[in-house]
Structure 1
Amino acid sequence: MTMNGTSAATSGSLGAGRVDWVDYAKGICIIMVVMMHSVLGVEKAAEQTGFMHYVVMFAKPFRMPDFFLISGLFLSVVIGRDWRTYLDRKVMHFAYFYVLWVTIQFGFKAPSLAAEAGWDKVGLMYLESFIEPFGTLWFIYLLPIFFVVTKLTRNVHPLIIWLIGAVLEMSHIVTGWTVIDEFCSRFVYFFTGYIVAAYVFALSDCARARPGLALAGLAAWALVNGGLVGLDVSEWPIVSLALGLAGACAIIVTGTLLARAQWLTFLRFCGEHSIVIYLAFFLPMAASRTLLLRFGVIHDIGLVALIVTAVGVAGSLVIWRLALAARANFLFERPAAFWIAPKKAAPSLQAAE
């Protein structure tokens, strides 16, 4: 999910075409994702809520919309490639990591699944995970579908596709199938990132040039978003779409201001390795949650959830570094054997990022 593009030179690039505010924004996004899974997991296990519950609820309207919008930002750079190359970079890349990590997750969860449903059901559940995305991995299952649909429809007027996506989002379709439901809920944000990328970079440039105005805008957005969440109307049709888009803009502005000041650089590092965190955070998250709740050293559930979030993020990066040290690069880098299209001067592996 690398965010590289020709616009980088005008928007604070970081060497090799990386864009600083994009990495900051991705860092914020991936931490919010880990936070959501950590907080809800702790609260479910403890059967009570803590202060972190309100942070998760505040972020709910924009947590995934901003991730998908950012994922679509640089699509225009590659969408014109031939189908073989496109499928290799945008489908096979994520398919490799999905198959690998769904297998790893099943390896850890199989005993508990077998205890609940019996070992005869575990194999069937594993096969079903290739139709119904398993656990936390639904994002990298859905993203290739977005890439393919966007390329297939590139000759249709963008406004038509956007309006269809907006209607699907506002319809709040619930079928029980993750791919269908999440496609309907999220595609409009991915497609928005693709068609308005120039305006997104212009917004970032404006925030960088006028930080005072940007901060005032963020304060106003936070009040409106928090107020609508508190009134329990954030999921109403039109409102949900507006909050998703507004929240994505807020994360972009926040990422830009942090990049401008060079504050909280760990967020940028997390953004540079967002897929690494996404793939591996489940293990340290689950382990720390179990230990903290079992021994009961900390009684504040909100604090427990916060610690589990931090361990989930940091632990995933530790797993990544250990994998590289052990030469198990295939866990986070796609081996050349799984490429279907050649790449000039290609390394033996392609990183998850």
Structure 2
Amino acid sequence: MARSGTSAADSGLPKASAAARVDWVDYAKGICIIMVVMMHSVLGVELAAGKTGFMHVVVAFAKPFRMPDFFLISGLFLPLVIDRDWRTYLDRKVVHFAYFYVVWVTIQFGFKAPAFAAEIGWRDVGLLYLESFIEPFGTLWFIYLLPIFFVVTKLTRRFPPLAIWFAAAALDTARIATGWTVIDEFCARFVYFYSGYLFAPYVFALSDRARNHPALALAALATWALVDAGLVASGASEWKIVSLLLGFAGACAIITTGTLLARAHWLNGLRFCGENSIVIYLAFFLPMATTRTVLLQTGIIPDIGMVSLIVTIVGVLGSLAIWHAALRLNAHFLFERPDAFWIAPRKTGPALQAAE
């Protein structure tokens, strides 16, 4: 683990700055964000339709590792920046995500408020909006939780790292269920984020091995896929220790897959999605919900699985279209943090970075 005065080379991390792009990381993030959009799209369609389709199997297969790999990758570059002064650190790791949460929770609420008001009245809608700053709203819980992970990791960096890791693993296997998203998801996800931070050199070493031994990597991926599918089908994937192990195994599989795709320079669109994963994450709800409503109400596509697939695709592509429209209309504030909301000297380069 990188500590004060430890260089990137000493820690086993890339020598580039935290803002540099790492090809396989972007591929892995692209896979992750598409799986997230898929999960929300498929489950939303199936809930509204009252039945399941063939996409349900794909979502079930990805469930053990869908969020663990996203959180693990989110912690990978933290050793490079954790020893920054608190002002800079909070600006990059807390204010950054808080800004986008406030903007996009307000946008989501604007679309959903009329439906809420029809059920509970406008007064309670206002209270529900205020509550969203305590209880994360809808799909935005991920960027609500990330700043908490960043702060907790920095506060505990002087503690024995393995003690923190075992405590985090114990929280995951304890299956805490208070009903509060922040508490429950912190307990269930922190071990993966902290593992990305703590074991970053080993993650990059795994990627290097996959790049150098692609045939062996493919064999390992095939074995993992069979094991994951078998455990999901049998229900054993829900067992506490098995769930934890599958989370890490799946994260390693996504890292390996991202590495092999980067090595072959295949599916560059997937890499593009990874480079702009936060754009997709913030905006996919609108094209997803709109397409779901249109397809289900018109019934032009009777197969629920195909509806789910189309909604997923439109959710991804539609969010990128919204981003480009915002740039053309000079609505940069939707995806870039304005100068007024920086509390430390502004970095150069794009406002949305995988490592930041």
Range class of TM-score, shorter chain = over 0.9
Q: 1:194 to 1:352 in 2, by over 3 A?
A: closer
Q: Are the counterparts in 1 of residues 336 and 352 from structure 2 also a CA contact under 8 Å? A: yes
Amino acid across the alignment from 1:225:
D
Q: Does 1:162 align with 2:165?
A: yes
**Alignment partner, residue 288 of structure 1:** 291
Structure 2 counterpart of 1:249, from 242, 249, 252: 252
Q: Does 1:335 align with 2:338?
A: yes
Residue 215 of structure 1 aligns to a residue in which SS?
A: helix
Amino acid across the alignment from 1:303:
M
Deviation string, structure 1 residues 26-45 (Cα, Å, up to 9, x no partner)? 00000000000000000000
Deviation string, structure 1 residues 82-120 (Cα, Å, up to 9, x no partner)? 111100000000000000000000000000111111111
Deviation string, structure 1 residues 114-136 (Cα, Å, up to 9, x no partner)? 11111111000000000000000
Q: Are the counterparts in 2 of residues 25 and 251 from structure 1 also a CA contact under 8 Å? A: yes
Q: Does 1:202 align with 2:202?
A: no
Distance 1:10 1:169 in 2: 27
Q: Are the counterparts in 2 of residues 102 and 134 from structure 1 also a CA contact under 8 Å? A: yes
Q: Are the counterparts in 2 of residues 334 and 352 from structure 1 also a CA contact under 8 Å? A: no
Distance 2:240 2:14 in 1: 34
Distance 1:10 1:95 in 2: 27
Q: 1:12 to 1:210 in 2, by over 3 A?
A: farther
Query: How many residues were matched structurally?
Result: 347
Residue 342 of structure 1 aligns to a residue in which SS?
A: coil
**Alignment partner, residue 152 of structure 1:** 155
Amino acid across the alignment from 1:65:
P
**Alignment partner, residue 238 of structure 1:** 241
Amino acid across the alignment from 2:151:
V
Distance 1:313 1:259 in 2: 21
- TM-score after normalising by structure 2: 0.94
Query: Residue 351 of structure 1: CA displacement?
Result: 3.4
**Alignment partner, residue 124 of structure 2:** 121
**Alignment partner, residue 96 of structure 1:** 99
Residue 337 of structure 2 aligns to a residue in which SS?
A: strand
Q: Are the counterparts in 2 of residues 276 and 332 from structure 1 also a CA contact under 8 Å? A: yes
**Alignment partner, residue 318 of structure 2:** 315
**Alignment partner, residue 52 of structure 1:** 55
Residue 351 of structure 1 aligns to a residue in which SS?
A: coil
Query: Residue 17 of structure 1: CA displacement?
Result: 2.4
**Alignment partner, residue 188 of structure 2:** 185
Distance 1:120 1:87 in 2: 34
Query: Residue 10 of structure 1: CA displacement?
Result: 8.5
Residue 351 of structure 2 aligns to a residue in which SS?
A: strand
Deviation string, structure 1 residues 213-246 (Cα, Å, up to 9, x no partner)? 0000000000111111001111211101100000
Q: Does 1:21 align with 2:24?
A: yes
**Alignment partner, residue 3 of structure 2:** none
Distance 1:27 1:142 in 2: 20
- TM-score after normalising by structure 1: 0.95
**Alignment partner, residue 301 of structure 1:** 304
Q: 1:279 to 1:119 in 2, by over 3 A?
A: same
Sequence identity percentage: 74
List runs of 5+ in structure 2 lacking aligned partners. 1-6
Deviation string, structure 1 residues 303-330 (Cα, Å, up to 9, x no partner)? 0000000000000000000000001000
CA RMSD of aligned residues (A): 2.0
Distance 1:39 1:71 in 2: 24
Q: Are the counterparts in 2 of residues 27 and 270 from structure 1 also a CA contact under 8 Å? A: yes
Q: 1:275 to 1:307 in 2, by over 3 A?
A: same
Q: Does 1:262 align with 2:265?
A: yes
Amino acid across the alignment from 1:39:
V
Distance 2:281 2:333 in 1: 16
Q: Are the counterparts in 1 of residues 276 and 352 from structure 2 also a CA contact under 8 Å? A: no
Distance 2:198 2:15 in 1: 21
Moved over 4 A (4+): 9-13
Distance 2:193 2:25 in 1: 15
Q: 1:60 to 1:198 in 2, by over 3 A?
A: same
Q: Does 1:278 align with 2:286?
A: no
Q: Are the counterparts in 2 of residues 25 and 252 from structure 1 also a CA contact under 8 Å? A: yes
Residue 175 of structure 1 aligns to a residue in which SS?
A: coil
Q: Does 1:350 align with 2:351?
A: yes
**Alignment partner, residue 221 of structure 2:** 218
Q: Are the counterparts in 1 of residues 30 and 277 from structure 2 also a CA contact under 8 Å? A: yes
- Which 10-residue stretch deviates more, 137-146 or 115-124? 115-124
Distance 1:76 1:151 in 2: 10
Q: Are the counterparts in 2 of residues 94 and 141 from structure 1 also a CA contact under 8 Å? A: yes
